[in-house]
Amino acid sequence: MNTSIQEILQKIDDLRTEVLEIKENTNDQTYYTDDCVEQVNYDLNTDTYTIRAVNGYNTEVDILATMENNGNGFTCKFPSYICTAADNYICLDYAEADYLYKMLKEYRKERGEQL
């Protein structure tokens, strides 16, 4: 790989520009992980949260996960983009979702991250 530093810096600058354009056009929350960019949005009409792949993923990948409030808890779907694996679903009532949130919060705290 003979990628020059200038080319790498240009790619980083292009990514930042793309992310800034996305952030200007939406009230959604954008997350940056390693070389990937993910965006979370909320649909008030369906009471559904969606995490979409913005950059750094295969071009076929769009929705990474959805979480729908079903009135008694949440139904989460993690779509599979390969033919050898099925989509994953998780159903949690509100108490279970709260327990999971607390455990993930502690997990991130132990790793020095914020939730």
- Enumerate the domain spans of the chain: 5-110
Paired sense of beta strands 88-93 and 29-33, if any: unpaired
Mean pLDDT of 91-110: 91
Predicted confidence band of residue 92 (pLDDT cuts 50, 70, 90): very high
For 32-72, the pLDDT digits (tens) are: 666 677 788 888 888 899 988 877 777 788 888 999 999 99
CA 114, 47, 38: angle at the middle one, nearest 5?
Answer: 40
The tokens describing 108, both together, are: 């991130």
